[in-house]
Structure 1
Amino acid sequence: MLVTMSQKELDRIPVLQQLCDKRLTQSRAAKLLNLSIRQVQRLLNRYQIEGAAGLSSRKRGKPANNRAPDELRFKILMLLREKYSDFGPTLAAEKLLERHCIRISTETLRNWMTADGLWVPHSRRKPRVYQPRYQRDCLGELVQIDGSHHDWFEGRADKCCLLVFIDDATGRLMHLHFCETESAFDYMNATRQYIEKHGKPVAYYSDKHAVFRVSQAETRQTGVTQFGRVLHDMAIELICANSSQAKGRVERANKTLQDRLVKEMRLENISSIESANHWVETFVSDFNRRFARPAKYPKDLHRPVQETPAELADIFAWHELRTLSKSLTFQYDKILYLLDPTEENTRIAGQKIEVFDYPDGTLAFKYAHRTLSYQAFDKLACVDQGAIVDNKRLGAVLRLAQVHQDEREQDGKRERSKKMPKRRAQARVQEQLKAINPVLANPAEFRASLKR
């Protein structure tokens, strides 16, 4: 019969053999084996009668005294197959206690699930293969971009976001831009600054942020984000990484910047986004001098910018489409816009016009590259009692007053559309109201002028 022995039991054989040959005393053997003299006597008797097999533990191969009943094991495994087949041992143990009042240790449950095929230990799993990716060959061939949210000013100002542009071939910081949020307009502004300084790279490498990649629901509509449309118009490819490790160069750069850049700004006493953006080029130059390395090939793949400043302004604006009604009106961001009733505008009634919402808050409306002149009426502004309105605008004002009353009755103080860019200024709304009627922009001021 084959007997399994542990290494500890095997190490006792030479000592007991010397004890049998009377080359050791029992007290000396007890000290060598770290056992009592009585236990050494028992082992010696079993060794003389049964040989080396007598030293193996009598408990080996027998169930433990505190072993869980087989009925409980079958019940737990049945529950796991029915309700928790994809749960790990730790979570499954928690749910068994919470939902079924069954207390079982995590390791016991792990052994049961492993034996039953419900769990595969990590040591037995097939290792995932992560092949290294060689860095690109030339400067400007691939630029990794990412936003890093951090307390950059260490409490001297609010937390903000740093947009990082780093070249894949050289590890050079190409551009840093501080902003309040990681929005499409912030990336547009930073990208325009980048291309004006370096030119147009071949491709940008980003994560799956909503600025770069549309969701499944949005795919049915346009299939491209505003930032993606900008890069398409600029002939720059946009590649989204499948994981954070894939764009590890910019991720590691973020960690370095959160250490070095924060301390440098502390020494320079920089406490605002504006001052940080003004100074950051000094840090970039010093950083690249220390850490950047030459590319494999010296060719620079950045392309010069051929577009005019006016074309760039249109490309880097927020684009939307609106349908022009038969009355030559359309809505954008809950504001009604009215085109002049000219013969040229009448011919495009029912057509799609394009909205250009610029980063500075100004608007432009175009049809087939023709800029349309307009007047605006704010749907959210209150029509003041006794306001003086031109006769030709009376119908629009009455319709909007009715809409405003319905909203007020529903206790719905509405805000601007959340889909629109988040930087519309109240001053611009006031200018748009003045385009219709000065009374609507500031009724109190108008009344005061009448009294004077």
Structure 2
Amino acid sequence: MAIPLHKRRKVADFDPVRDGKTVTQFCKELGISRQTYHNIKSRIAQKCRAGIVPDSTAPKNPIKKFDEADKIAVVHARQELMEQGLDYGPWSIYYFLFDTSGPDSTPSRSTIASWLHELGFVDANARKRPRSSYKRFARDLVGELWQIDGLVYRLFDHAHTHVTIYQIIDDASRFDVGTTAFALPENGTDARAVLAAAFADYGKPQEILSDNGDAFATYHRGFLSATETWLASQGVLAIAGFAPTTQGKDERSHRTLTQFLDARHPVSLAEVNTYLAEYRQVYNERRRHQSLLVGKMHITPRQAFDTFPKAPSPQHPLVGLPANRGHVVELPSG
């Protein structure tokens, strides 16, 4: 219960010696507790007479009021992101408005999600696991592990030509270190060409994670692929995953990449590679990654790649690799 201002003034002016009353008698006559009396006196000692007036009870961060125009802006932002072939969920819309309109005009992610649900833009998916059940795993250092995977993409030409896109993602920062399309089906020669270009641009990682296809890793079958042998000569260890979730980061990136290309309808291999260069710029430099949360804001893969601690790059070739559980394959020297 707030103490009236006239009582607070009496407390400020009260002097036990001058008025000939004890604090207890004064508080009883005024109808306040001794604790309230001492609280007011303490405020006055700190703020002088200005301490008589109580502080405002208004919230420090009042709830922002949004109108129909803000809902329309959210819908337009979602449509623009869709047309650009970018993700258009609540977080993507939030950061799009944050960057274009500023923080003061941007509703919260939960408000945006509520509006999308209210307007019927959310597809119910009972099979989708809640985010709280996810367990995130990633390497701590940039360059400690890269993931490579091949994606078959169909062009928008009359023949529906298939091309193979190789995508390489740094595990810690989610930075796309190399994405290139080739005309041939998945093979080791093209995979090594993409890896070599990434090594030249960003240095060598300590490990490369791939699936167990012939183009990448075959050590579990008792022999080494040409890609594994070449990586070992570069000092990079090739490892393979046997569960679908092992390549989860690359697989999720494939969806973002395919969505981006589908919005542009490439009809030739040259167009695909042109759009891939544009995609890498958007993905690395502009698109905040929802797995890269620093403080209360998500950051881009480029920011993570530049600021996260880095693993030392391999300097010497590997001299022996396990071809299976029981044998070690010696690599040829020179």
TM-score, with normalisation over the residues of structure 2?
0.46
**Higher RCO (Cα < 8 Å, 6 or more apart):** 2
